[in-house]
Amino acid sequence: MLKKIGFSIVLAYRKAILKRKGVSIKHHAVFSRVQFEGKATIEPYCRLFGDPVIKIGSNFYLNVGCHLLGEIYIGKDVIIGPKTVFWGRDHGLARNELIRKQPHNKEPITIGNDVWIGANVTILKGVNIGTGAVIGAGSVVTRDIPEYSVAAGNPAKVIKKRE
């Protein structure tokens, strides 16, 4: 119980410090090892856990219920729809050991500037999304998306270029 109270106090203190810098983190959002480079809004029920770090550029918006885990680099002017997941790791698949005991495979995720990611998108480890890209709602991004592309589907594929 004391550990939970202590964590709540530390989190409230961090939120207050960040608020002075223009970072608004709403109720029931938790974060660890996240660096904000400018103004940002994190809506309720989001979880951000850097492994080792999440770096977020200025003018960032993260909608309700998102989960970011891993080594993640996000550019400026990025908006992310609700219930989106960035997952920077997965388990090994060797047959000679239980999956739950296998080490994690980790690769960074990089998001360029001026990117819009729709609702319920999943972005997997090692993906780079180029500047100006748009990712359609419900997409699963398993490969890099070029600059100024619009991508959608499972797996996400480029369907057109932004003009």
The backbone torsions φ and ψ at residue 129, rounded to the nearest 5 degrees and listed phi first, read -110, 120
CA 68 to chain centre: 4
Residues taking part in catalysis: 91
The backbone torsions φ and ψ at residue 44, rounded to the nearest 5 degrees and listed phi first, read -60, 155
Q: Which helix (H) or strand (E) holds 12?
A: helix 2-20
> For residue 52, is the peptide bond before it cis, meaning its omega torsion is within 30 degrees of 0?
yes
Rounded Cα distance, 37 and 39, in Å: 7
C-alpha triplet 80, 107, 67: angle, nearest 5°: 30
Rounded Cα distance, 155 and 40, in Å: 29
Number of other residues whose CB lies within 10 A of the CB of residue 111: 25
